[in-house]
Structure 1
Amino acid sequence: MNVIKNSVVTLNYRVTNPEGVEVDDGKEPLIYLHGGHDDLFPKLEEALDGKTIGDTVTVRLHADEAFGEYDPELVQIEPLDKLPEEIEIGMELEGEATDEDDDDEVIVYRVTEINGDEATLDGNHPLAGQALVFTCTVAAVRPATAEELANGTAESED
């Protein structure tokens, strides 16, 4: 079966930066619903369209085609007394967007620095601002179930 709209595709993959430094070793296969369901970056999905089991594609994504440009406005400095006591670098916290246009948006902030009685929180994706190179091999393709189509996403095989 070829990779076509509304098929569930399993990819073995590896992600590097343009210099070849590994960003994601792809230990777990990536399973997604093909065909514009926002399960995969559009440029990568386009490259996989029509492929079959065993086919490999390599796609370079600019930052704006992957996790977006780095937005310095998503970085906040907060007093430690307003944060959980067990705060540590690398911890993720949910917060609200500071932009008036996104009042209901929840953002995941990572603690990137603790300095004195303040912590720096970054709401950018860890790979924001980076170009990425995806190398993917199609490991499996199957028709999506009615439930997967209704949900707009592939079901986990767990």
Structure 2
Amino acid sequence: MKKSEKTKGREKVAARRQQYKLAGIVAVVAIIVICAAVYLVFYSPGVVAAAGDTVSVTYTGMFENKTIFDSNVNGTPLTFTIGSGTMISGFDAAVRGMRVNEEKVVNIPADQGYVYNPGLVQTVPRSMFQTNQTISPGEQFSFQSSVDGRTRVVTVLSVNSTGVTVDANSPLAGQNLIFDIKIDSIQKASTGSNATATATS
């Protein structure tokens, strides 16, 4: 006995509904997977910065009165290896435990910032400057070290006929500082894997 056209039509409709249902389930699963992948890439909840990791950060540095003295926002991120000694201790400690795309404001006391070193105050011969050059206290000059080749900025403290007393300490030395820090990327030391994020406004 042949099925009626009506029965056949109902079976086709039911089959289409089943197909749509399966397609819907597949689409939902795909969306969940994509969202999870995006979350892991942009927020990397399981990746935290630790000693030996190389991080890239965006920062704004301020004095206690909130006057900005330096910032790389909208510029090139600062990249360094945690624990390598290239950063002031307070900044180095602040990024430990942070995650990609995480942002925080930290107060760094003077003893964890640019520590003032009296040994960096020296009197150099007047002959190191041009003969007719006018030198006044407060002026800054750049000198290339004969020891390590690095260029350092020194501030003139006093001047007399034979010598010039200069201070090679950072102008930030001895000051309490505030940094607004955001982690842009973390490269783990142990695996070499990267956790990257694009800064969002």
State if a TM-score over 0.5 links the two structures: yes
Gaps of 5+ in 1: 97-103, 147-158
Q: Given the two structures, how large is their TM-score scaled by the length of structure 1?
A: 0.67
Q: Which residue is equivalent to 2:27?
A: none
Q: RCO (CA 8 Å, sep 6+): is it higher in 1 or 2?
A: 1
Matched-pair contact (CA < 8 Å) for 2:63–2:69: yes
Q: How much does 1:111 deviate?
A: 4.2
Between the two proteins, the alignment pairs up a number of residues equal to 137
Normalized per residue, which structure has more strand?
1
**Structure 1: distance between partners of 2:157 and 2:117:** 17
Matched-pair contact (CA < 8 Å) for 2:89–2:113: no
Normalized per residue, which structure has more helix?
2
Cα RMSD, aligned residues only: 3.4
Q: Which residue is equivalent to 1:154?
A: none
Matched to 1:143, the amino acid is K
Q: Which residue is equivalent to 2:175?
A: 130
Q: How much does 1:140 deviate?
A: 0.9
**Mean alpha-carbon deviation: is it higher for 61-70 or for 12-21?**
61-70
Q: How much does 1:129 deviate?
A: 1.4
Q: Which residue is equivalent to 1:46?
A: 93
Gaps of 5+ in 2: 1-46, 192-201
Q: Which residue is equivalent to 1:150?
A: none
Q: How much does 1:2 deviate?
A: 2.2
**Amino-acid identity (%):** 19
Q: Which residue is equivalent to 2:142?
A: 92
Q: Which residue is equivalent to 2:63?
A: 17
Match 1:59 to one of 90, 93, 106? 106
Matched-pair contact (CA < 8 Å) for 1:13–1:134: yes
Matched-pair contact (CA < 8 Å) for 1:10–1:139: yes
Matched-pair contact (CA < 8 Å) for 1:12–1:29: yes
**Structure 2: distance between partners of 1:140 and 1:109:** 31
Kindly provide the CA deviation profile for residues 108-133 of structure 1, in whole angstroms up to 9, marking residues without a partner as x.
46142675745331122221111111
Kindly provide the CA deviation profile for residues 48-104 of structure 1, in whole angstroms up to 9, marking residues without a partner as x.
222211111221112121110363x643444422x13286632122569xxxxxxx8
Matched to 1:69, the amino acid is Y
